[in-house]
Amino acid sequence: MDRKKFLQTSGLLLAGSMMTKNIAASMSLTNDLLDRSILAASENTPLIDLHVHRSNKQSIEDIIAKSKKSGIHFGVMENVAPWGITNNEELKTYIESLKPYPVYIGLQPMSPGWSKNLSPELIAQADYVAMDPQIIPNGNSYGETIHIWEYATYINNPDAFMERNMQHYMDILTGDEPLNIFACPLFLPVSIQREYNRLWTKKRLSQIIDACRARKIAIEINDLVRVPDEQFILMAKRAGLKFTFGSDTRDEKTGRLDYCRHIAAKCKLTSNDIFIPEREIG
C-alpha cells in the first residue's frame, strides 16, 4: 500500500467511524441494524449512491458538498435520451465536465439501441452504465408507450402488461449493449401496484435474476420508490448478484438513503455484496 493509498484508506476509516458515531447519536433501530451489518462489516467502505443527477436545483458543487458532509460517495448520471445525451460530442462534454470532481461518472440510457450512434471508446470512459425498464413501448392494448413513473399510466389488463413488461426486461438484460446496473427493478405503474405480490411471481423473479447473473449485472436498490423488496434482494443475494444504492435524486433529497440502509441491514448485505466501480475517486 503506498502512502497516498494509505492516507486515503485511513481517511475513509476515519470518515467511516465518524459517520458511525453520527448515526449512533441520532439513533433509530434501523440505523443500529445498519451499524452492525454494512458499516461494521466493512468499515473502510463508504456508502455509495450511484444514482444522482445534476439539475437546476443541484449543481455538481452541491453534490460534492453533500459528499463531504455525509461521507457518501456519489455517482452522477446523465440520461442517454432525447432530453439528455444524443451524440458523441455531448457524451464527451458530459464526461469532461465531471472528470475534475471526485465522483463516479455514470450513464443512464432509457431505451435499448441507445449505444448505436455512440463511440464505444467514449462509452468506456464512463465508470458504469445503469438502465431502468421504465419506458415500455406498447405497454397496453391501446398501443401506448407506458412511462412507469407517471401517475396517469393506463393498464387495462395487468396480466397482459406483465407479459409485455417481462419481454421489455429481457430486451434490456439480454441485449449486447454495455450494462452494469439494472436500475429501479420491479417498480410497477401506480394503478397496479397493489397487486405487486401477485404479479411478481417467483418464476418472473428467477428469470430476471438469471439474466442478471449471466452478464454480471448488479441490482439497484432504489431509495425513491423503495424497490426491490426483501424477497427479491435475498433471492438475488443467494444467486451471487451485487447491489448498488440509488437515491434517484436531483435536488435536496440527495444524501438520503433511508430505504437502502433499512433493507440492506434487514437483508444483512455487506461490502462484499456491493458493486463498486473500478476507478478510484479522490
Which positions touch Zn ion (CB under 5 A)?
108
Q: How far apart are CA 194 and CA 178, in angstroms?
A: 33
d(CA 59, CA 55): 6
Radius of gyration, alpha carbons of the chain? 19
Q: In angstroms, what is the minimal distance from the CB of 263 to Zn ion?
A: 19
Comparing CB distances to Zn ion, the nearer of 67 and 108 is 108
Q: Please answer whether residues 146 and 163 qualify as being in contact, where contact means their C-beta atoms are separated by less than 8 angstroms.
A: no
∠ CA 226-227-229, rounded to 5°: 105
Considering the complex, what minimum distance in angstroms separates the CB of residue 183 from Zn ion? 7
Q: How far is the CB of 33 from Zn ion (least distance, A)?
A: 28
Of 82 and 143, the one with the shorter C-beta distance to Zn ion is 82
Measured from the CB atom, is 76 or 123 closer to Zn ion?
76
Angle between helices 230-238 and 258-266 (to 10 degrees): 60
Least separation in angstroms between residue 132's CB and Zn ion is 7
Cβ distance to Zn ion smaller for residue 108 or 180: 108
Nearest approach in angstroms of CB 216 to Zn ion is: 21
Task: Say how far apart CA 189 and CA 85 lie, in whole Å.
Answer: 26
Is 223 in contact with 247 (CB distance < 8 Å)?
yes
- DSSP per-residue codes, 173-234: HTSSS--SEE-STT---GGGGGGHHHHS-HHHHHHHHHHHHHTTPEEEEETTTTBS-HHHHH
Q: Which residues contact 14 (CB under 8 A, 6 or more apart)?
A: none
Least CB distance to Zn ion at residue 249 (A): 9
The residue among 16 and 106 lying less far from Zn ion, judged by its C-beta, is: 106
Looking at beta carbons, which residue is closest to Zn ion?
A: 108
CB of 277 to Zn ion, least distance (A): 16
Closer residue to Zn ion in complex, CB, 107/205? 107
Residue type, position 207, single letter: Q
Q: Which is nearer to Zn ion, 34 or 129 (CB)?
A: 129
